Every structure is written in structure tokens, then in C-alpha cells.
Structure 1
Amino acid sequence: MGVHGIEPFTRENEPKTMLYETTLRALNGKPQPKLKELTDGKGFGVRVSKQGKISFQFRYKIYGKNKRMDLGGYPDLSLKQARDVVDECRSWLAEGHDPKLKRSMSREKTLAPVTVQQALEYWIDNYARDNRTHVDKTITQFQRHIYPAIGHFPLEQTETRHWIECFDRIRRGIKGQRKPAPVAAGQILQNAKQALRFCRVRRYAVSRELDDLIASDVGQKQRQKDRVLSDVEIYDLMHSIQKREGAFYMRYLCQLLLVFGARTQELRLSKFDEWDLERDLWTVPKDHSKTDKVIIRPIPAKVKPIIEFLYKRHGDSGYLLGALKSGETVSCSGGLLCKRLKHKESWSLHDLRRTFTTKLNDLGVAPYVVEQLLGHSLGGVMAIYNRSQYLPEKLAALNMWCEWLELLVNPVDSVVLINSVRAG
């Protein structure tokens, strides 16, 4: 008896026939007086119909019950190919598997393999949407750079060279269409590696073609940024907002980013139910926080009228800024601001958060208060035992910061101060 009661079929006194190509050719398509069966031994043989149609078959037993599976017809399947299939079936039998089920699963996998796009989307739907902050950006990168090139390839047949060709196009750019983006190439590699590992662990699809690649092989890592806007650049931005230059959405987004030091997504996703204008508190929910923790910020008196105005204007939409825009769209719009303001050195929306941090520290605000305003966790033992929100300290810091901004943009003697700032 084989493993788990599974064994090849054998008949007592089974004729010791040996199949040959010449025999099959002679029988193929030739009418027969009756159904004929020829055996090659150990369960392998052929059935020849009255019309001369030849079908390969494999017989075996499971717990004493006879089983038969059709392997394919001759000559579409050659005798050698049929014997190879039977060898595989015998291996499955030896491992305790039903060959018919294993072959059916194998054929389904071959005929409908998981594609590169399906694998990446499996990771997005089952992991990234709930655990990655900038999932919209990742989806856009895949749609733009990966899917058109190799998205339709069967994942398990996609080689490292196919992936590298994609990354090279991203790194070098496409002449007349896209600029070189070596950092983006590195980011896409890291996301794709995580996606393929996720699929592999879950046995959805298996590929190790990216395992040995690192960001520097296909592009470059994103460098740690240290861009902080100067007082003149802050003035230019705030003055532009006062003059109502640019899109309404971006004006109010930038103003609130600079005032609160918030992450872009915290304001991009913000809804009015987060803003308690009776208690003057803005509560960022876990779902909108990068750290998966609630962030509570006081609303300074100078900012409250802005929130009230936005509510009157956008209350029906539910969103503070009137609409839900994708992270990619907002990021691209933010990247154009420095050009519109004619700043020599480029800056991004996230640099407003770094500017907020630097300026508050320069104003003498305690570092732990700044960290709380940023939504960072306190380090060491404080992170475990200290649950204080430091609301009075936060409010004092934000009030001081708002006064500083107001003085910068609307000084008593604006000409003298602006000239002195520009001179500095």
C-alpha cells in the first residue's frame, strides 16, 4: 500500500505490452471493431475508440478504489510527453497526493498565471491601503511605470532583467516625456520587493527576482532633506496668500500647514467633525495620522476665523478644504509653488513642516512641546508613562508662532523690516 492508501493501479496478469510510436501511428484514426486498451505498465496506457481516437490514461488507486485520469490525446501529446506526465503523477502519488487534483491545479496555474499587476494589486488591496501612508502615490507609480511595461507578464516567468529594464527607464527618464527620476526608481523597487514578499508569504504567487536588488542598483535612495524656508521665503508665501494668488485650495492648505506644522495628509483628509470650535481643538484621527495615533492640537484665536470661514464655504462637502484630492495631485501642485514665487532653491510642502519645527525651536519652545505638535511620540520612558497632551503649552507655542508670522507679514514699518530681512 502506498502513502496514505494511494498507489498506482496494477492488474493481476496485466499484459506486458510496451507502447511504441509506430504502434500509435498505425492505430491513429483507423476505425476499430471495438474499444481497445493497451498498457505500458504501472497504470499507464492508452484507450483507442472505435473511431480510432487515441487517449493516454493513467490508472491508480486511493484506499483500494480504482481511479483513472485522462492525460491527453495522441498525437497532440506525444508518447514521450505522456510518459513525462505519468512520471510526475507517480511522484505525486509517492508524496500522498491525488494526481488528478494536483494536475488540475497545476494546469489552472499554467493557463491562468498570476500577472505582475495582479500580484502588486493583491499587496495594495490586502496590505498597503491599510498600512501605507502614501498608498495613492505608490499606486500611481505602479500604474505609470510598471503596469504598461510588464504588468501583463506572468509573475513567475518575469525575470530580473525585465524589472531592471523598467527601473532603467524610470531612472533615465523617457526623452520628451518624463524627466529622469532615480529616487522614484529606488522607491518603486522597495515597494515592489515588499509586495512580492507579501505574495510569497501568503502563497498567492512566488517570485524572488527582486531579492538581490537594492535601491542603488536601480537608482538612488531618497536623501534626508534639510530644506528650511528663509524668513523672506515665508514672507513671499504668506504675502501671496494674502493677495489671493493661486488656487483657493492650495492657499488655505499652505497657510494651515505652516501654522500647525501638520503633515499634508492630515489636512488633505481633514473633515469638519475633527474641528471642535467650542473647545478650540483639532483632533486628527488615527486613520489620518502617519503614526497611527490621535493628534490633538489647540486652535489659536487668530486661526479660528479661518476654520469658521471654511465651514461656511465648504460645510456641505464635509471636507475642510472643500474636496478630497489625491496625495499625488496635491504634491505636484505644491512643487510648483516655489517656481511661481521665483524662489531659487526648490522646496516642497513637507518643507513647511520642517520650517515650522525649526522656527519654533528658534523661538525657544521646549522640544517636547514641538514634538507633540508634530504628532511625534516622546522618547524613552516618557513614551510609556507620560500621556499628557500639554495643551496649554501647545496653545502658547502656536499663539507665539502666529504672532511671529503676523509680524513678519504685517510689521509696523513694513518697508524697513522687509528691507532689513531681505538684506539679511
Structure 2
Amino acid sequence: MLNSIPGQFKKAAAFINNLKPATTRQEIPDSTQAGLYLVMQPSGSLSWAVRTKIDGKAAKVTIGRYDEVGRDDRAGNIISATQVLNVTQARAAAEKVIADAKRGNDPRQQKIDKTSVSAWFDEFIKTARATGFKGRAVKATTADEYERIIATNIQPHWKHVGDIRTLDYRDIEKLLAKLSPGARRNAFAVLSAFFRWKSVARVMGRNIIELAEAPAKPTSRDRVLSHKEIKTIWNASEKCGYPFGPMTQLLLLTGQRRDEIANLKWSEIADDAITLEASRTKNSRPHVIPLAPLAKTIIEALPKIHDADGNPSEYVFTTTATTPFSGFSNGKKALDKHCGEPVLPEWHLHDLRRTCATELAKLGIKQEVTEAILNHKTGKVSGVAAIYNRYDYQDEKRDALEQWATRVQGIIANNVTILKKTA
């Protein structure tokens, strides 16, 4: 047994730094805190342990690894074998362990709530909705997407992680390797925001996302559907049925973004138009989408979904009555199956938006009108003109979308069938 660890911090640190490992494991008692030991392994590794009694029986509790600097105390006074503690911190932790043992609490069974991954993800979502990370709350749809990605692509792969401080960049890379390319990019984007969040960075003492290899950027797409493909997808949408079938048809007819239609509420439809508040659009600008007769007919044929208590859902497209439709992967698979043979070359829902814009150009629609329909921020109207030109092109937008709907009807010929009001 070596001499006990000196009480004064600087002397204690110098004493520990001069220790030499032996051929057997050694326990060096602390001169200030009874029950605290510095454990030195033959390999030279150092850890802290506390010897006390729990339920009347002798017990040893490992409280962390030795480090001259120690942990960031903003992480809280918790008990974890994976944390690093200097002499002063180890003495405080030992005192807590002994006090807890006297109260009948087993420190070895304590949950590390303040540093659990699950708890921090919950706080991340709450902060995103309340104050955000740059002085204002993020949009509700963005916070919903954060929550969905964490629940489906991240947490299921990190169930074994109890303490967030044990994560490093290799854990991120292992997680990303298990995901599809699209899910990989989404997860990396959320984790980037999460680990750059100051609260998490303070607890971890570093930003591990900076060391992880970022997923490759998606290749730029220029896929525009041919008239034959439009007809195939339209017919498949009819076979696919509610909610994904008519949702796909509206995406083609309106040229809007996927989530703006998927999250559509009945209250947003009135007077032959859809009106989206700024919080519902990607560029945070309110947006009015005129409905051509064909689009209006599709909406009027949609079923009204009710919850278990018989209350009508506020959402136009839903399978639960309480949340908007989100099963895009399964919906797309079903739609592709109904497209039949030969298999339609790889396409995405966003191609419907690009196809709509391209076809509007073929119809001779002015670029500024198309951009107004798509609710684009940039384009032909920019600079000083964008500041002073507040004209919203509502009449031109309606005329353009009606022309496009007529073109679609011509493409699909006599195959227009209004979907039945059944879910």
C-alpha cells in the first residue's frame, strides 16, 4: 500500500503524477475523504472508487477516471464510471455516494438523467419550439421534422447510450452507416444542430460532429416527367386511393412542396383556393394557391376522417385523425407498384413540382407568375423590384393553374376518375 493522497490539491496532483504502476493493482486511500481510493492498474490507468456499506454490506462504487483537470462541473454532480474527475471533484462525489448509501440508496443503480441522450433530445425539441437556437423559435413544421427524424432514425440506434458524454464522432458515423442516403443526410443535419447547441456543447466539452464525416451531397436532379409518365402516375394514384393517391394528384396540379400539401388542413381551404400562413411555408411567406376546377373536384371527393370520439380531423390527409399523413415511404412503394410494368424510371415526389413548373413554361406562362405559384423567393423579380413590387399575381396564378389542369386532363384523356369517399 502506498502513502495516502495528500489533502492539498496541487500537492495531490503532483503526487499522483509521480506514481509508478506496479505489477499488481493498487488502492491508494485519500487523506481527506474517508472511503475514497485512487485505483492504479498495472497498465498505469487511474480510476476513483469509494468503499462504503450499502444495506449493511460492504460495497465498492467506481465513480470515474482520474484526470488532473477534471470534468466540466456544469454537467452536474452525478455518479458515472465513465466521467473524469480531478481530486476535488472525486472527494465531492465520494461524499455524495457515502451520504446516499447511508440513506439506503444504491448509487450504482442511479440513472444518469441529466446526461441521458433521451433527456437531451427532449430538451432539444422543447428549445426548438420555444426559443430556438438563434434568438427565435424554429417553424413548427421544422420542429416536427426534427422530432420525427430523432424518433425514427437516431434514437432507435442509440438505445444503449446512457450518458451523452460517452459519445464520439465514431458513434455518429456508425449510426449514419445504418441509414439510407436520404435518411443519412437528414440525421446528420439534425445531429449537427444538436451537437452545436451551446447547452450540449458545454456538457460534452467539445463538438463531436466536426470530426464526423458528412454524408455526400445529393446529386442535382433535373427529372421532368414525360406525358406518358404523368398519365401512368395519375392512373396509379387512382388505384392507390386515399390518402396518398389524391395527395399525389394535388402535388402535380398545384406544384407545391410535399409537406405543404401533406399537412393541409380543412381550415386552409376556402373560396376556390388554399391559403397557407407564413409558418407553413419553407420561405416563411404567406402563400395563396388558386384551385383549378379539377383540383377542387379532387378535394371535394375526399373523405372526412373522424377520431375515436367521432370528432372530425382538422387534417385533409390523415390516417390517425390526430396527425397529418407522414407515411411517404410506404405510400410511394404502393404507388410504384400500381404503376405496373415496365417499371417507371427512378422518380421522386419533388419531380411533380419540377414537372409542373416546366409544363407552365411550355404553356407560355411568365416566369414571375410561375415563381409566384411555386412561392419562390428568388428569380426574375429580385433586387429593387422585389422590394417595391408587391403585386401577388393572383389572377395570373389562377389562369396558369387552370391551363395546366386542362393540359393534365388532355394528357390523361378519359381516365379521370373521382376517388370514392372511403378511407
Question: Structure 1 residue 400: deviation in Å?
Answer: 0.6
Distance apart, 1:262 and its partner CA: 1.2
Relative to structure 1, the CA distance from residue 40 to residue 130 in structure 2 (aligned partners, 3 Å threshold; closer, same or farther) is closer
Who is 1:185 aligned against?
184
- Higher helix content, 1 or 2: 1
> Which of 322, 335, 352 is equivalent to 1:337?
335
Q: Which residue of 1 aligns with 2:357?
A: 357
Cα-to-partner distance string for 1:82-122 (whole Å, 9 max, x where unaligned): 9x99x989xx9xxxxxx79x957x98999655133433443
1:224 counterpart SS class: coil
> Is the alpha carbon distance of 1:160 and 1:327 closer, same or farther for their aligned partners in structure 2, counting shifts above 3 Å?
farther
Shift of 1:396: 0.9
Distance in 2 (CA, whole Å) between partners of 1:298 and 1:189 is: 37
Structure 1 counterpart of 2:413, from 410, 414, 423: 410
Q: How far, CA to CA, are the matches of 1:283 and 1:201 in structure 2?
A: 38
Q: 1:228, 1:355 within 8 Å by CA — same for their partners in 2?
A: yes
Once the two structures are TM-superposed, the CA of residue 207 in structure 1 deviates from its matched residue by 3.5
| Equivalent in the alignment of 1:156 | 165
* Corresponding residue for residue 277 of structure 2: 285
How many angstroms apart in 2 are the aligned matches of 1:399 and 1:145?
40
Residue 225 of structure 1 aligns to a residue whose secondary structure is coil
Matches within 5 A, 1:158-173: 158-170=167-179
- Whether the 8 Å contact between 1:123 and 1:199 is mirrored in structure 2 is no
Q: For 1:306, which of 292, 295, 298 is the aligned residue?
A: 298
- Relative distance call for 1:290 and 1:103 in structure 2 (3 A) is farther
Whether the 8 Å contact between 2:274 and 2:290 is mirrored in structure 1 is yes
CA distance, structure 2, for counterparts of residue 23 and residue 266 of structure 1: 68
- In the TM superposition, what whole-angstrom CA distance separates every residue of 1:136-192 from its partner, at most 9, and x where no partner exists? 55544444443344342422222222322222333xxxxxxxxxx244334322321
* 1:118 corresponding residue in structure 2: 119
Give CA deviations for 1:195-235 in whole Å, capped at 9, x if unaligned: 100144774544422213342xxx42222222221101111
Moved more, 135-144 or 335-344: 135-144
Q: How does 1:60-209 map to 2 (within 5 A)?
A: 71-73=33-35, 103=92, 114-127=115-128, 130-131=138-139, 133=141, 136=144, 138-151=146-159, 152-170=161-179, 181-200=180-199, 203=202, 205-209=204-208
Residues 1:392 and 1:145: Cα distance change in structure 2 (over 3 Å): closer
Whole-angstrom distance in 2 between the partners of 1:222 and 1:399:
33
Give the gaps of 5 or more residues in structure 1: 1-19, 25-38, 45-54, 59-70, 93-98, 171-180, 415-424
Pairing 1:248–2:249 present: no
**Contact 1:137–1:328 (Cα < 8 Å) also in 2:** no
1:76 and 1:316, CA in 2 relative to 1: closer, same or farther beyond 3 A?
A: same
Instruction: Spell out the pairing of 1:2-17 with structure 2 (5 A cutoff).
Output: none
Distance 1:157 1:202 in 2: 13
Name the SS of the counterpart of 2:211 in structure 1: coil
Q: How does 1:259-298 map onto structure 2 within 5 Å?
A: 259-277=253-271, 280-298=272-290
Where do 5+ consecutive residues of structure 2 fail to align? 12-28, 41-46, 50-64, 74-87, 98-109, 130-136, 416-423
Between the aligned partners of 2:4 and 2:252, the Cα distance in structure 1 is 86
Alpha-carbon distance change, 299 to 162 in structure 1, aligned in 2, over 3 angstroms: closer
Aligned partner letter, 2:167: T
The structure-2 alpha-carbon separation of the partners of 1:303 and 1:190, relative to structure 1 and needing over 3 Å to count, comes to: closer
Q: Say how many residue pairs are matched.
A: 331
Task: Report the secondary structure of 1:319's partner residue.
Answer: coil
Does the aligned pair in 2 maintain the 1:114–1:205 contact within 8 Å? no
Does residue 221 (structure 1) correspond to residue 217 (structure 2)? The answer is yes
Amino acid across the alignment from 2:338:
R
Question: 2:236, 2:335 within 8 Å by CA — same for their partners in 1?
Answer: no
Match of 2:317 among 315, 321, 331: 321
Q: Is the 8 A contact 2:317 2:324 kept in 1?
A: no
2:395 aligns to what? 392
Please tell me whether the aligned partners of residues 224 and 355 of structure 2 are also in contact (alpha carbons under 8 angstroms): yes
Equivalent in the alignment of 2:81: none
For 2:288, the aligned partner's letter is: I
State the alpha-carbon separation in 1 of the partners of residues 297 and 358 from structure 2. 26
Q: TM-score, normalised by structure 2?
A: 0.64
Distance 1:201 1:145 in 2: 20
Contact 1:56–1:72, Cα closer than 8 Å, also in 2: yes
Q: Decide whether aligned partners of structure 1 residues 227 and 23 sit closer, same or farther in structure 2, where only a CA change above 3 A counts.
A: closer
Q: TM-score, normalised by structure 1?
A: 0.64
RMSD: 4.3
2:335 maps to a residue whose letter is: L
Picking from 225, 232, 244, the partner of 2:228 is 232
Rg larger in structure? 1
Question: Over residues 53-88 of structure 1, what are the superposed CA-to-partner deviations in whole Å (9 max), with x where a residue is unaligned?
Answer: xx9786xxxxxxxxxxxx44366999x979x99x98
The sequence identity of aligned pairs, in percent, is 24
